[in-house]
A and B are shown apart, each in its own frame.
Chain A
Amino acid sequence: MSAQPDLLYSEEEEALRAAVRDLLADHCDAPGVIARTESGAPHDREAWKALADGMGLAGLLVPEALGGQGATHREVAVVLEELGRAVAPVPYLTSAVVATEALLSCEAGELLGELASGRRIGALAVALNVAPGGAYKVVRHEGGALHGELTGIADAAAADVLLVPADDGGLYAVDATAATVTPQVSLDLTRPLAVITLDGAPGRLLGDAEPAVRRALRAGAGLLASEQLGLAEWTLTETVRYLKERKQFNRPVGGFQALKHRLAQLWLEVVNLRAAARNAADALATGDDADVAVTVAQAFAAPVAVHAAEEAVQLHGGIGMTWEHPAHLYLKRAKADSIAYGTAGAHREALAGLVDLQAP
């Protein structure tokens, strides 16, 4: 750890936040998101087009020379906070962060440019629950083609290109049209999973799978904390707003001390999560102390986001249990996020090695 991390938001980052929030207010209102989850097309292509094409946000991590914006993880984190606040059903984390990082590791110039522009959507074909240091499934590379089945691949149904690790140690680009992508009924309605079946699909070798997958998952885990911050912030704000309005026993429910204390505790958790998430984003951007920063953020973020969403459901009372109210979208995303890119427990275990607090 050399210099102190910059844990604040710059003016430019705040301007970016405002622009993304405006856009999502137009595209991703709660009733629209709920209705979309019941349609055959859970991903919001229009919102994605506006974010990627209109604002160029899919290319934030890609250098300008390769067709991107040449920004850093700090700006991406701000975008993810806003996407979390809206539980937006767009493949941003999976394509613009995780798949993009894998391609950056492989120096896959042309494909990077396509993902950066948003013309194509990419998905790393590693199950969503795999932690940065965890084992992942590979497919068989045989006779110049790929064979096998990979489950739990987030946003694969929206992807145009799949980045597939194979048993020869290579990472291959497979056109989605050459694979069978079967949606799985997923807990998280806004980031659905799918099964990828490859039956002799042609793949183009991009580079070594191992460093690419590690790098991609580390960035995904670290920046997921910012999405979790956005989820937690929205659920806390919305619950506080509702409890000021909702009256029982001739008083606003938010005036009862038992509830005030719970909300104050939750606020404190969210304040802490903001520092942890900013620290992870800054560390990924500077490369300084990134392993510890990411594991700390992920070990901390998931319980906070889940707690915030669970409190939102409970403190909204009956309305919180209805399909109509959006609280369940946040609960489902928060719970799925608590498994995505490694559970808090998996990150704590990784931390034990990083800071020399070894198991018995």
Chain B
Amino acid sequence: MSSAEELRRRTRELLAAHPPASTDRLEFLRARFDAGLAWVHYPEGLGGLGAPRSLQAVVDAELEAAGAPDNDPRRIGIGLGMAAPTILKYGTEEQKQRFLRPLWVGEEVWCQLFSEPGAGSDLAALRTRAVREGDEWVVTGQKVWTSSAHVARWAILIARTDPDVPKHRGITYFVCDMTDPGVEVRPLRQITGEAEFNEVFLTDVRIPDSRRLGEVGDGWKVAQTTLNNERVAIGGMRLPREGGMIGPVSKTWRERPELRTHDLHQRLLKLWVESEVSRLTAERLRQQLVAGQPGPEGAGMKLAFARLNQEISGLEVELLGEEGLLYDDWTMRRPELVDFTGREAGYRYLRSKGNSIEGGTTEVLLNIVAERVLGLPAEPRTDKDVAWKDLAR
């Protein structure tokens, strides 16, 4: 079942039964899911065939050659990258059947309700409460930095179900219906002017117990699956030379000799070298994964990527001189997709400031590297054995 030949045969059968040219897009995607060709490493009946993940490329190549539509993965990244692996690992059979197909097809967009105004780096200190009432949970609290909340049908949510135990132990993981009348979504405007994220206010939102993922009180453990997948997604992009933030500034340098100065030249060359080495490090990490020798290097990729994006875009604003004093557009827009290298230099400069905060701050990631990779002593913990309700706030 796992051979490339077999997958190729199945893909051709799918294409013959549902010719992309004459088939409705959603219909085609549903048929692809049902044929087990959505994500071949998922189990049979859930869009996969239990095949090695590396064979997905075989299917994708056949489909692309035939001009088949895709599920627009960038638009549904949180569903694909974070919700789906968590549902697959911790969901009941019924939950997997209900959620995974519309998630993969893109009919139902997902968002993530984790961070709170008082729980960022210390996510486990979260205050959103879920109180059990019969077969339901009643949820009240405030979440923040939620991308796609304004278009999402479902959310993965962690909330406090037991305030009387230490913070990590009193959390439970749910699937929240974003159309519930108690869910209010407000745009959160960023320093770039746009509102890529939202604040989400939850007031007596009722979640049936059947939408709980994992056991009551196991939410922190379940969330680790989600967060590990997020960091993989943030650091794992494969780029050609000059493929990242260094591309636009190099292009400007070549096209506009009148902007060049000696100081900028030295700094540009240094950043060019660092970008290239960072790209090679990501490539080496990828080769390690393919060879089945995953190393701890992944933990560092996001650190490097954040710093380089910030320094390069900062340099670019300076290089532009008088134009660097301008900004393309302060209008509050609601982009569905974020492109860190998109728009003008000023936008890149401001947006990249978030790169060292989102998905784990640089400071927390350095602690993680120091403790888990280098084996240095952990930070002193005063909250480990204290009931959540007794913590200082």
Using Cβ atoms and an 8 Å threshold, which residues of chain A touch B262? 359-360
In this complex, what residue of A is CB-closest to B249? Answer: A357
Nearest CB in chain A: distance from B271 CB, A: 10
Using Cβ atoms and an 8 Å threshold, which residues of chain B touch A252? 376-377
B268 partner, pick from A273, A349, A357, beta carbons under 8 A: A357
A244 touching B277 in the complex, CB below 8 Å, given contacts A271-B300, A357-B272: no
Using Cβ atoms and an 8 Å threshold, which residues of chain A touch B241? 1
Nearest CB in chain B: distance from A224 CB, A: 16
Cβ-based interface call for A18 (8 A): no
In this complex, what residue of B is CB-closest to A268? Answer: B300
Using Cβ atoms and an 8 Å threshold, which residues of chain A touch B14? none
**Contact across chains for B280 and A7 when beta carbons are under 8 A apart:** yes
Cβ-based interface call for A139 (8 A): no
**Contact across chains for A257 and B367 when beta carbons are under 8 A apart:** yes
Separation of A260 and B376 alpha carbons in the complex (Å) = 7
Separation of A264 and B60 alpha carbons in the complex (Å) = 38
In this complex, what residue of A is CB-closest to B268? Answer: A357
A254 touching B377 in the complex, CB below 8 Å, given contacts A8-B291, A272-B304: yes
Cβ-based interface call for A356 (8 A): yes
Cβ-based interface call for A328 (8 A): no
Residues 222-273 (chain B) with a chain A CB within 8 angstroms: 241, 250, 253-254, 257, 260-262, 265-266, 268-270, 272-273
Cβ-based interface call for B288 (8 A): yes
The contact string, 1 if C-beta is below 8 Å from chain A, for chain B 284-305, is 1001100101000100100110
A261 touching B253 in the complex, CB below 8 Å, given contacts A254-B377, A348-B270: no
Nearest CB in chain A: distance from B239 CB, A: 12
Nearest CB in chain B: distance from A200 CB, A: 45
A263 touching B287 in the complex, CB below 8 Å, given contacts A272-B281, A275-B280: no
In this complex, what residue of B is CB-closest to A260? Answer: B370
Residues 301-360 (chain A) with a chain B CB within 8 angstroms: 345, 348-349, 351-352, 355-360
**Contact across chains for A348 and B260 when beta carbons are under 8 A apart:** no
Cβ-based interface call for A134 (8 A): no
**Contact across chains for B284 and A8 when beta carbons are under 8 A apart:** yes
Using Cβ atoms and an 8 Å threshold, which residues of chain B touch A179? none
Cβ-based interface call for B216 (8 A): no
A263 partner, pick from B303, B363, B374, B380, beta carbons under 8 A: B374
Nearest CB in chain A: distance from B277 CB, A: 5
**Contact across chains for B369 and A299 when beta carbons are under 8 A apart:** no
**Contact across chains for A272 and B376 when beta carbons are under 8 A apart:** no
**Contact across chains for A348 and B370 when beta carbons are under 8 A apart:** no
Using Cβ atoms and an 8 Å threshold, which residues of chain A touch B260? 358-360
A352 touching B284 in the complex, CB below 8 Å, given contacts A261-B366, A267-B373, A268-B369: no
B370 partner, pick from A263, A274, A359, beta carbons under 8 A: A263
Residue of B250, B293, B363, B376 with most partner-chain A CB within 10 A:
B376
**Contact across chains for A351 and B272 when beta carbons are under 8 A apart:** yes
Using Cβ atoms and an 8 Å threshold, which residues of chain B touch A259? 376
A260 partner, pick from B273, B276, B287, B367, beta carbons under 8 A: B367
A272 touching B278 in the complex, CB below 8 Å, given contacts A1-B241, A351-B273, A357-B269: yes
Using Cβ atoms and an 8 Å threshold, which residues of chain B touch A263? 370, 374, 376
Using Cβ atoms and an 8 Å threshold, which residues of chain A touch B358? none
**Contact across chains for B250 and A260 when beta carbons are under 8 A apart:** no
Separation of A275 and B250 alpha carbons in the complex (Å) = 23
Nearest CB in chain B: distance from A126 CB, A: 25
**Contact across chains for B273 and A296 when beta carbons are under 8 A apart:** yes
Cβ-based interface call for A279 (8 A): yes
Using Cβ atoms and an 8 Å threshold, which residues of chain A touch B377? 244, 251-252, 254-255
Separation of A273 and B300 alpha carbons in the complex (Å) = 13
A265 touching B366 in the complex, CB below 8 Å, given contacts A7-B280, A8-B287, A275-B280: yes
Cβ-based interface call for B339 (8 A): no
Nearest CB in chain B: distance from A9 CB, A: 10
Separation of A263 and B370 alpha carbons in the complex (Å) = 7
Using Cβ atoms and an 8 Å threshold, which residues of chain B touch A360? 257, 260-262, 265
Residue of B254, B288, B370, B377 with most partner-chain A CB within 10 A:
B370
Cβ-based interface call for A218 (8 A): no
Separation of A7 and B287 alpha carbons in the complex (Å) = 7
Using Cβ atoms and an 8 Å threshold, which residues of chain B touch A355? 250, 272
A244 touching B284 in the complex, CB below 8 Å, given contacts A352-B265, A360-B261: no
In this complex, what residue of B is CB-closest to A265? Answer: B366
**Contact across chains for A240 and B254 when beta carbons are under 8 A apart:** no
Using Cβ atoms and an 8 Å threshold, which residues of chain B touch A43? none
Residues 303-325 (chain B) with a chain A CB within 8 angstroms: 303-304
Q: Can you pick out 16 interface pairs between chain A and chain B where the beta carbons lie within 8 Å of each other?
A: A8-B288, A240-B374, A240-B375, A240-B376, A263-B374, A267-B373, A271-B281, A271-B297, A275-B277, A276-B277, A299-B273, A345-B266, A348-B270, A348-B273, A360-B261, A360-B265
Known: A240-B374, A252-B376, A271-B281. 7 other contacts (CB 8 A): A5-B283, A7-B283, A260-B366, A260-B370, A275-B280, A279-B280, A349-B269
Chain A interface (Cβ < 8 Å from any Cβ of B): 1, 4-8, 240, 243-244, 251-252, 254-255, 257, 259-261, 263-265, 267-268, 271-276, 278-279, 296, 299-300, 345, 348-349, 351-352, 355-360
Chain B interface (Cβ < 8 Å from any Cβ of A): 241, 250, 253-254, 257, 260-262, 265-266, 268-270, 272-274, 276-278, 280-281, 283-284, 287-288, 291, 293, 297, 300, 303-304, 363, 366-367, 369-371, 373-380
